[in-house]
């Protein structure tokens, strides 16, 4: 049996991280998924940690690895749209050292399962465009800023004008059998229980805003490719507004681990029995 934890959108909250580390130490899951937005917003300093990734996250994980030894879980990590991409190199270095698997736009084999990661989200109203791309076309919702505008924390060579989430997913999964695939996304699928934002009654230039802010490309990908399970975050209030933290799309079961309360939200599931998943708040 492959017991898994899934968390997302911890946003540098040390209390949530410490609860998670204690839970891992106590329950010893086989796998832990981190679904992005892991760092404090805007390089904000938390407590006495000058470098939150190195001094807090990595330091605690190395200690956990030392304590658990051969019971240390396989950990899969992506970053999210609120994480500055200039921090990515640190995660890649720790991944190379064996602390975890950093899997944005990559695939890792885990026993009989294929684990894929993908960080990018459709255009948002926020200025940092490190992890934003056009979705299926160059259309942008009212109130949102084009990926070609705003700012980035690194220089990129990709032509963002023509890059889309759809093309990335096509390239990542071309000719792949996805029947036993797990996808660690940051964005949820569009028009689902998992992407409901608190935009009720809000308008831009007399145009009502869409309360669903997930990815059309990811929605179509799930419906067409039918992976085993998909993991999502990004929209904190969605579970509170819809009353659902999971949704089934034919064969595929999808989860949202983001949470807008003070507690740590953990999705616990078994890869051999996805339907028995549970969500706990600590």
Domain count, the chain: 1
CA neighbor of 78 nearest in space, from 41, 122, 28, 115? 115
Contact (CB, 8 A) for 137 and 162: no
Q: Provide the domain limits for residue 212.
A: 3-281
114-146 pLDDT, tens digit per residue, is 999 999 999 999 999 999 999 999 999 999 999
How does pLDDT run across 87-104, given as a tens digit for each residue? 999 999 999 999 999 999
Q: What is the CATH number of the domain that holds 82?
A: 3.60.21.10
User: What is the average pLDDT score of the chain?
Assistant: 96
Q: What pLDDT sits at residue 82?
A: 97
CB atoms closer than 10 angstroms to residue 172: 16
Question: Model-level pTM?
Answer: 0.97
Q: Tokens 């935009």, residue?
A: 199
Cα separation, 106 vs 149, in Å, equals 27
């Amino acid at each position: 049996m492959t017991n898994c934890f899934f968390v997302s959108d911890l946003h540098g909250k040390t209390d949530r991280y410490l609860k998670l580390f204690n839970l891992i130490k106590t329950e010893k899951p086989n796998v832990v998924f981190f679904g992005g937005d892991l760092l404090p917003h805007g390089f904000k300093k938390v407590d006495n940690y000058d470098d939150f990734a190195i001094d807090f996250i990595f330091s605690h994980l190395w200690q956990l690895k030392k304590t658990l030894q051969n019971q240390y879980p396989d950990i899969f990590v992506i970053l999210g749209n609120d994480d500055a991409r200039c921090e990515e190199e640190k995660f890649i270095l720790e991944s190379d050292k064996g602390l975890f698997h950093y899997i944005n736009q990559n695939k890792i084999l885990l026993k009989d399962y294929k684990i894929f990661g993908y960080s990018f989200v459709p255009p948002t109203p926020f200025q940092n465009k490190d992890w934003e791309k056009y979705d299926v076309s160059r259309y942008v919702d009212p109130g949102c800023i084009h990926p070609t505008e705003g700012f980035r924390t690194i220089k990129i060579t990709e032509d963002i004008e023509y890059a889309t989430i759809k093309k990335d997913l096509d390239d990542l999964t071309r000719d792949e059998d996805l029947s036993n695939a797990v996808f660690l996304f940051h964005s949820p699928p569009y028009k689902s229980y998992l992407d409901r934002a608190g935009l009720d009654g809000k308008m831009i230039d007399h145009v009502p805003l869409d309360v669903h802010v997930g990815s059309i490309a990811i929605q179509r990908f799930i419906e067409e490719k039918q992976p085993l399970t998909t993991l999502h975050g990004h929209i904190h209030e969605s579970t509170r507004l819809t009353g659902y933290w999971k949704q089934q799309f034919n064969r595929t079961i999808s989860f949202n681990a983001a949470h807008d309360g003070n507690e740590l939200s953990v999705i616990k599931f078994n890869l051999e029995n996805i339907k028995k998943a549970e969500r706990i708040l600590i």
